[in-house]
Amino acid sequence: MKLKAGKGAAKMELLSPKVDFIFKRIFGSEENKDILISFLNAVFEDSGQPLIVSVELLNPFLEKDALTDKQGVLDVKAKTETGTLLDVEIQLQNHQDMEKRTLFYWAKMFEEQLEEGQSYHKLHKAVTINVLDFDYILSDKYHTTFHLHEDTLPHLRLTDLLEIHFVELRKLKEQSVGLERRLVRWMLFLTAKTKERLEELAMEEPAMQKALTTLEFLSQDKRTRELYEQRQKGLQTYAADMEGAREEGREEGREEGREKGELLRARLTARNLLIMGLDVEAIAQATELSVSEVEQIRQGMDLSTLH
């Protein structure tokens, strides 16, 4: 499919390529495999990994359930010419579970390679690439790569079959890095605020120019904008629900703290009244503690303090 930007492209606000729905349309379609290869090689080049020549898309279609599900995963799955499996996902919100999430999807992708009875020798390397629009890894680096290695000997790897990348968009400060790294250019493409900036970035990168043309095409398509807005609302609703749940938890914690504080004050008051010689029933009435609670306090006190 040949994409052409219409006359209204310059005036129409471009959709954000960071939204997973649009990200997948740009990087995860059959006609845009060259864009995906460029992005993947930018990641691998940045971490000193071998570059790839071709990919086979394993899920080139948009899953309707994932699109309407607020927690649905709209990732890009592919396989290289050497059999390496790839899973690329972009995340805009921090759900505090990225390490568990990425390990789960990596394990699922790795396990699905084998059918029952097949030899483990048939297993190929599996790589997950997480593009995050929030800070997560405790490092200033905008790109971190993880493997399995011995704790005291970092260069002693158990295997190369596991590889996990985190590309954190907000850690990239344009003024502190040059544009010579292809990954930097792609990260700036994903976070660019204006069409003019996108055009500047795409000038020397054919794949990026095609990505921009695709983004312009998608931005003009009425149905795509409707789906985009639905997805945005779904993500915003999920974020609001999560924040509401966290606030409810904080309020419950504050209420529990208040109750514990009041109980402590009542017990201290009961102890002081016991020292003053008041009887248990009168203290229970004054502090709103039960008679048995006051009796337990009395029994736990040093008898010498009661005389």
- The full set of domain ranges for the chain reads 20-220, 257-306
- Whether the CB-CB separation of 176 and 184 falls below 8 Å is answered with no
Write down the pTM of the prediction: 0.73
What's the whole-number mean pLDDT along residues 210-238? 86
Q: What is the mean pLDDT of residues 267-273?
A: 84
Predicted confidence band at 9 (pLDDT cuts at 50, 70, 90)?
very low
**Which helix or strand (DSSP H or E) is residue 131 part of?**
strand 126-132
Question: Kind of pairing, strands 157-168 and 126-132?
Answer: parallel
* Alpha carbon distance 148, 163 (integer Å): 8
pLDDT at 280: 84
Residue 221 CB coordination number (10 Å): 15
pLDDT band at 256 (very low <50, low <70, confident <90, very high): confident
Number of Cβ within 10 Å of residue 181's Cβ equals 14
